Amino acid sequence: MFEKSDHVRSNKFGIGHVLVVDDQTAVVKFEHGIEQCKIDELVQVDSPQKSLRKETWDIPLEVVTRFQAEAIQSVNDTWGVLSKSRIALLPHQLWVCRRVLEAWPARWLVADDVGLGKTIEAGLILWPLLSRENVNRLLIICPASLVDQWQARLRDMFDIRVALYVSEADTEKSDFWHTHPQVVASMQTLRKDSNNRHDRMLESPPWDLILVDEAHHLNADEQGGPTLGYRFVEKLVQANHVESMVFFTGTPHRGKNYGFLSLLKLLRPDLFDPKQPLHEQLPFLRQVVIRNNKQNVTDLKGNRLFYPPKVTSDTYTYSTDEDRFYDMLTEFIATGKAYASTLSSNDQRTAILVLIAMQKLASSSVAAIRRALKNRHGRIHSTRKELAKLQEQKETLRSYDELESTNDLDELNRLDEQLAEKTLALSLMEDEEPRIAELIEAADAVQTETKIEKILSVLDECYPGRAVLFFTEYKATQSLLMSALMKKYGDKCVGFINGDARADGVVHSDGSTRSITETRDTAAAKFNSGQVQFLVSTEAAGEGIDLQNNSNTLIHVDLPWNPMRLHQRVGRLNRYGQKKQVEVMTLRNPSTVESRIWDKLNEKIDNIMQSLGNVMDEPEDLLELVLGMSSPSMFREVFTEANDVPPGSLSKWFDEKTAKFGGEDVIDTVRDLIGHCSHFDFQAMSDKIPKLDLPALRQFFLAMVKLNNRNYEESDEGVSFKTPERWLNSPAIRTNYKNVIFERTADKSIPSERILGVGHAILDQAVRQARANTSSVAALPGNTLPNPLLVYRVIDKVTSQTSNVRAFVAAVEFESGGFKIHRDWETLLLLNKLLDKRTLRRDEAMPKPKTANELDDMVRRGTDEIEKRMVDFDLPFQVPEVHFLGVLWPADGDEKENLQEQ
């Protein structure tokens, strides 16, 4: 019969100690919590304290590998640093993983700057959860354009496989939500309750974790109400159908406190209420919001990884033919606005939107507006009298408003083209048809666009031989620039990205005009690998794609009417992995009103930066937060109305229109948000961040192979071995492995199965076996282990709160002059050194060293020291409790003779 405090092993729960015993059962506290077990299912094992008194101590290699396994589990549960992935990890990413995982269930909004690796952070968070089965059901929700990318990156970087959701697979008979436990889906699809989709989701098992990318799309307006996406997630939350949620967004605050607090309420309704003042809820932000700035991110040595981009500008001047065309277009738009003022409110709004679309197209290139004008002119006769088109037109306008609120940039620009070409139920003026014909004639007279010529000269003068990324808003401008580049550098010099994966009207070097098709991923891969020197992209590459591998140079072919888009474009190059300072070139014609507005915007942005600099050290990336808090309609109104303002009144008018842009209230809000968010501080955390990676697993794993009586072969390509019999208990484990490696590599020719890390089935088996071992005391040669090393585990006595971090391992090394405390990762490195030069005994228990009689007192002293350092460990435990795991003791004298190598 067991007694209280006896140590026991359960095949299901591992090792624990008895709390209460009755006739048939025992209440046992295991690492994960308290369980009531049948007595005949438990086996008594010696506690470390009892093992100290045994005349024969344990096999050294078994003790060392058990301590290694405990340290591996500890460090990975806390930081995720040893999880299997291809990507080298950064301190702030490890820290984000630690914050999210330290308590479970978890509810966090991760609002790191663009380019800091949110997919990596997501993978780091997921691996420990999936490996330990804290998470079985996972739902990832992201914009439609990023679904394939999320699926591919989790697979390629972390070997995490998620099913792609498509509506066709979700029927009453398919039972999709029951049969697919790990899914990635687009918000645009899931938010619509098509064919009772939501009912089927709610009838399936609840989600252990939901990740939402670009979570600012979950918006709620005080007057307009919540978006469909917000209502969908709210429905899951209110139905208690989700345990944990992690949201990702670079712009959490979109200008209205109500929307920001509504987003936080989805995560923590117990802390946040959009109907209450923001300042009263600021103290709670650290419990929910993580925000890391790009300018503060470092490598493991504390070296900064990002620097502000170098932005330069150049100018060009219109040719006579371009001047004539733009003067005619300006007059056309002014006449259209005057005519629109005589219409009903709905028709007036429609006409103004069409004129704005034309103005935006013209600001990109003559080619862009010419294509729209020709298409519109060709449709006027055939569609003017078709009143049925009016309904389609209204639907288009509704889409325009919704897309502007969600910032779907490429789709928004496509609708600009549709508005200019197809909204024909309403004339823009009484003589629209002949006026458009005149504009087309003037546009046709423009044989060469000076902006394109300027770009070609800039390439020669400023960026010869460089890989250059170009951004433009419209596909016609894209094709125009591609044609110019092909004529000068050859047909194979350039790739493209747009929402249709098709570029029409591209003139090749032989003079032929053709359409080209190319997927976004193919174009990005060719640009990153250097197969093409240039990449011309619309806003389809404005988010969710990495283009930094082979380029640090960006040219804005046109300037969008929202500064936020410029920063999003630069984020494609200025992101983790960029080795050089990013250089950005903007082009403008100073004689245009648009250029003068940009001058004033830039001046105001400089003032905002100075204001931010007065309240914080590194304001650069906070500008994006300020821009995200500004209404897109404000920027649109500034550019569209500027032509109607007398030149002498432009400055006064601009100041009035942009009075709230970057005002004191915005600066105060940014300061309050940043000041109250949880963020990574390298100086404060540098000594706590694990200074190790996958190579630290090598000694442990090879020792475990040896302990299981298997040999291994090492070569430059990796380690090969036959799998031990006791590990062959899962279909995921192979009978043998060839050339496995303990390092991260971006080389996709190396299958993920060859990369060993926590989460790999074979390594997890080794850890599981070692931790199940009860060996706890061993003697080692003094020239291998100079000082006694006592190992401890810290757990939380309170079992009512679940945490992914179940135990923390630390060691006390007793030196001649005192002692040294080693954290879990430091303990692992110390243990690894013991296996560097020798193979410890793996088949024979050793006599107790004569000098180990003082150990009882040392165990107590070590316990006291661990307890004193508890605050430094920063553990997520309510009532920490220290348990002695065991000791490695340096043998002296004759005892060394008994510890020869084997």
Is the separation of the CB atoms in 556 and 585 below 8 Å? yes
Residue 313: which CATH number? Answer: 3.40.50.300
d(CA 847, CA 857): 21
Query: Residue 618 has what pLDDT?
Result: 56
User: Is 63 part of any domain?
Assistant: yes
What pLDDT shows up at residue 897?
A: 40
Average pLDDT estimate for 750-759:
89
The per-residue pLDDT for 108 is 96
**C-beta neighbour count of 501 within 10 angstroms:** 16
Q: For residue 820, give the 3-state DSSP assignment.
A: strand
Q: Residue 509: exposed, middle, or buried by beta-carbon count in 10 A (0-12, 13-18, 19+)?
A: middle
Domain identity same for 128 and 241: yes
Domain count along the chain: 6
Domain annotation covers residue 297: no
Specify if 684 maps to a domain.
no
Distance CA 364, CA 592 (A): 13
Specify whether 100 is located in the same domain as 235: yes
pLDDT at residue 816 above 50? yes
Are 803 and 859 in the same domain?
Answer: yes
Does residue 700 belong to any structural domain of this protein? yes
Label residues 36-69 b or e (16+ Cβ within 10 Å = b): ebeeeebeebbbbbebbeeeebbbbbbbbbbbbb
Q: Are 288 and 271 in contact (CB under 8 A)?
A: yes
Instruction: Determine the structural domain holding residue 663 and report its residue range.
Output: 592-679
Final residue belonging to a domain, choices 563, 589, 615: 589
Determine the pLDDT at residue 616: 54
Tens-place pLDDT, residues 288-325? 999 888 877 888 888 888 888 899 999 999 999 999 99
Band of pLDDT at residue 898, cut at 50, 70 and 90: very low
Same domain? For 94 and 73 the reply is no
Tell me how many helices (H) and strands (E) the chain has.
Answer: 32, 30
Same domain (yes/no): 879, 800: yes
Do residues 287 and 370 both lie within one domain? no
pLDDT in tens, 675-686: 788 888 888 888
| Of the residues 562, 589, 616, the one at which a domain ends | 589
* 708 and 665 within one domain: no
For residues 150 and 140, is the Cβ–Cβ distance under 8 A?
A: yes
- What pLDDT sits at residue 640? 85
Where does a domain end: 679, 705, 726? Answer: 679
Asked if residue 654 and residue 571 are part of one domain, the reply reads no
Q: Which of 390, 392, 336 is nearest to 359 (CA)?
A: 336
Per cent of the chain over pLDDT 70 is: 90
Quick check: is 436 in a domain?
Answer: no
Q: Which of 229-238, 390-399, 532-541, 566-575 has the lowest mean pLDDT?
A: 390-399
Question: In this predicted structure, what is the pLDDT of residue 612?
Answer: 66
d(CA 480, CA 438): 22
pLDDT(425) > 80: no
pLDDT at 377 over 60: yes
- Residue 357 in any domain: the answer is yes
> Residues 217, 250: one domain?
yes
Q: At what angle do helices 593-613 and 632-641 cross, to 10 degrees?
A: 140
Measured between alpha carbons, how far is 825 from 81 in angstroms, rounded to an integer? 10
SS3 587: strand
In one-letter notation, the amino acid at residue 181 is P
Residue 746 lies in a domain: yes
Are residue 569 and residue 597 in the same domain, yes or no?
Answer: no
Residue 264 has pLDDT above 50, yes or no: yes
Residue 387 has pLDDT above 50, yes or no: no
pLDDT band at 404 (very low <50, low <70, confident <90, very high): low
Mean pLDDT value of segment 729-749: 89
Give the domain CATH number at 37: 2.30.30.30
CA dist., res. 576 & res. 579, Å (int): 9
pLDDT at 902: 33
Indicate the pLDDT class of residue 843, thresholds 50, 70 and 90: low
Q: Is the pLDDT of residue 856 over 70?
A: yes
Q: Are residues 282 and 314 in the same domain?
A: no
Does residue 200 sit in the same domain as residue 251? yes
What value does the mean pLDDT of the chain take? 86
Q: Is the pLDDT of residue 391 over 50?
A: no
* pLDDT in the model for residue 381: 54
Return the minimum-mean-pLDDT range out of 586-590, 875-879, 897-901: 897-901
Q: What is the pLDDT of residues 144-179, one digit of tens each?
A: 888 988 998 898 888 899 999 999 999 888 889 999
> What backbone phi and psi angles, to 5 degrees, belong to 49?
-65, -40
Give CA separation, 849 vs 788, 867, 899, in Å.
12, 28, 11
CATH no. for residue 232? 3.40.50.10810
Residues 6+ apart with CB under 8 A from 790: 811, 812, 813, 814, 858, 859, 862, 884, 886, 887
**pLDDT tier for residue 385 given thresholds of 50, 70 and 90:** very low
- In a domain, residue 129? The reply is yes
H-type alpha helices, 80-210:
91-101, 118-131, 147-158, 176-179, 187-190, 197-203
**Angle, CA 797 vertex, CA 791 and CA 798 arms, to 5°:** 145
Average pLDDT over residues 533-541: 89
Percentage, residues of the chain above pLDDT 90:
46
